[in-house]
Structure 1
Amino acid sequence: MNTSPRQKILIVDDEPDIRELLEITLGRMKLETFSARNLGEAQALLQREHFDLCLTDMRLPDGTGLELVQHIQQRAPHLPVAMITAYGSLETAINALKAGAFDFLTKPVELPRLRELVSSALRLPTAGGLSTAIERRLLGDSPPMANLRKQIDKLARSQAPVYISGESGSGKELVARLIHEQGPRASQPFVPVNCGAIPSELMESEFFGHRKGSFTGAVEDKPGLFQAAHGGTLFLDEVADLPLSMQVKLLRAIQEKAVRSVGGQQETVVDVRILCATHKDLEAEVSAERFRQDLYYRLNVIELRVPSLRERRDDIEALAMHVLKRLAKDTGQPEARLHPQALEALKNYRFPGNVRELENVLERAHTLCENRTIEAQDLRLSEGNCTADGAMADLTQIDNLEDYLESVERKLILQALEETRWNRTAAAQRLSLSFRSMRYRLKKLGLD
Structure 2
Amino acid sequence: MHKPLALVVDDEADILDLIRITLGRMGVAAVTALTVAEAKRQLERHRPDLCLTDLSLPDGSGLDLLHYLNAHYPELPVAMITAHGNMESAVAAMKAGAFDFVAKPVDLAALRNLVESALRLRGRTGALDEQGATDMPLLGDSTVMEQIRVLIAKLARTQAPVFITGESGTGKELAARLIHAQGPRRDGPFVPVNCGAIPHDLVESELFGHKKGSFTGALADKEGLFQAAAGGTLFLDELADLPLPAQVKLLRAIQEKSVRPIGAAREVPVDVRLISASHRDLSQEVERGRFRRDLFYRIDVIELRMPALRERPEDIQPLAVHILQQLAQTAGGIDPAACPTLSEAAIAALVRYPFPGNVRELENILERALALCEGACIEVADLYLPAVERARTPDPGTASTERRETTVDRARWNQTVAARALGMTPLALRQRLARLGIEQ
Which range, TM-score by smaller chain?
0.7 to 0.9
Is 1:349 paired with 2:346?
no
What is the deviation of 1:177? 1.0
> Alignment partner for residue 372 of structure 2, among 368, 371, 392?
368
What is the deviation of 1:41? 2.5
1:151-173 deviations in Å (ceiling 9; x for gaps): 11111111111111111000000
| Counterpart contact for 2:126–2:153, Cα < 8 Å | no
**What's the Cα RMSD here?**
2.2
What is the deviation of 1:15? 2.8
Aligned counterparts of 1:257 and 1:177: Cα–Cα separation in 2? 22
The 5 Å alignment of 1:46-445 reads 46-124=43-121, 126-128=123-125, 130-131=127-128, 137-330=137-330, 331-333=332-334, 334-384=338-388, 390-392=390-392
What is the deviation of 1:391? 4.2
More divergent stretch after superposition (107-116 vs 284-293): 107-116
Aligned counterparts of 1:56 and 1:154: Cα–Cα separation in 2? 21
Amino acid at match of 2:109: P
1:176-220 deviations in Å (ceiling 9; x for gaps): 111112112211111111111111122122122223333333332
Tell me the SS of whatever aligns to 2:51: strand
| Counterpart contact for 1:9–1:51, Cα < 8 Å | yes
CA change 1:335–1:201 in 2 (3 A) is same
CA change 1:393–1:45 in 2 (3 A) is farther
Aligned counterparts of 1:22 and 1:214: Cα–Cα separation in 2? 39
Aligned counterparts of 1:157 and 1:198: Cα–Cα separation in 2? 31
1:4-38 deviations in Å (ceiling 9; x for gaps): 42112112223333223322222232222222222
Aligned counterparts of 2:14 and 2:244: Cα–Cα separation in 1? 44
Aligned counterparts of 1:33 and 1:166: Cα–Cα separation in 2? 43
> Alignment partner for residue 22 of structure 1, among 3, 19, 32?
19
Unaligned 5+ segments in structure 2 are 400-440
1:113-170 deviations in Å (ceiling 9; x for gaps): 2222111111126333524567872111111111111111111111111111111000
CA change 1:25–1:215 in 2 (3 A) is closer
1:284-310 deviations in Å (ceiling 9; x for gaps): 000111111111111111111111111
Aligned counterparts of 1:174 and 1:101: Cα–Cα separation in 2? 24
Aligned counterparts of 2:230 and 2:110: Cα–Cα separation in 1? 14
| Corresponding residue for residue 38 of structure 2 | 41
Aligned counterparts of 2:177 and 2:97: Cα–Cα separation in 1? 20
Moved over 4 A (4+): 131-136, 391-395
CA change 1:287–1:61 in 2 (3 A) is same
Aligned counterparts of 1:249 and 1:23: Cα–Cα separation in 2? 34
| Counterpart contact for 1:125–1:182, Cα < 8 Å | no
Amino acid at match of 1:232: G
CA change 1:170–1:106 in 2 (3 A) is same
| Counterpart contact for 1:125–1:184, Cα < 8 Å | no
Aligned counterparts of 2:188 and 2:272: Cα–Cα separation in 1? 10
| Counterpart contact for 1:54–1:81, Cα < 8 Å | yes
| Corresponding residue for residue 414 of structure 2 | none
Aligned counterparts of 1:378 and 1:59: Cα–Cα separation in 2? 65
Tell me the SS of whatever aligns to 1:9: strand
1:55-107 deviations in Å (ceiling 9; x for gaps): 11112222211111112222222210011112222111111000000011122
Amino acid at match of 1:332: G
Amino acid at match of 1:116: N
More divergent stretch after superposition (260-269 vs 150-159): 260-269
Unaligned 5+ segments in structure 1 are 396-400, 402-448
Aligned counterparts of 1:327 and 1:114: Cα–Cα separation in 2? 45
Instruction: Kindly name which structure, 1 or 2, has the bigger radius of gyration based on alpha carbons.
Output: 2
CA change 1:127–1:268 in 2 (3 A) is closer
What is the deviation of 1:355? 0.7
| Counterpart contact for 2:11–2:34, Cα < 8 Å | yes
CA change 1:162–1:393 in 2 (3 A) is farther
**TM-score, L = length of structure 1:** 0.82
CA change 1:216–1:38 in 2 (3 A) is closer
What is the deviation of 1:393? 10
| Corresponding residue for residue 13 of structure 1 | 10
| Counterpart contact for 2:99–2:159, Cα < 8 Å | yes
- Give percent identity, aligned residues only: 58
CA change 1:105–1:266 in 2 (3 A) is closer
Tell me the SS of whatever aligns to 1:130: coil
| Counterpart contact for 2:10–2:33, Cα < 8 Å | yes
CA change 1:313–1:44 in 2 (3 A) is farther
| Counterpart contact for 1:102–1:160, Cα < 8 Å | yes
CA change 1:393–1:43 in 2 (3 A) is farther
**TM-score, L = length of structure 2:** 0.83
Aligned counterparts of 1:215 and 1:108: Cα–Cα separation in 2? 35
Aligned counterparts of 1:393 and 1:115: Cα–Cα separation in 2? 70
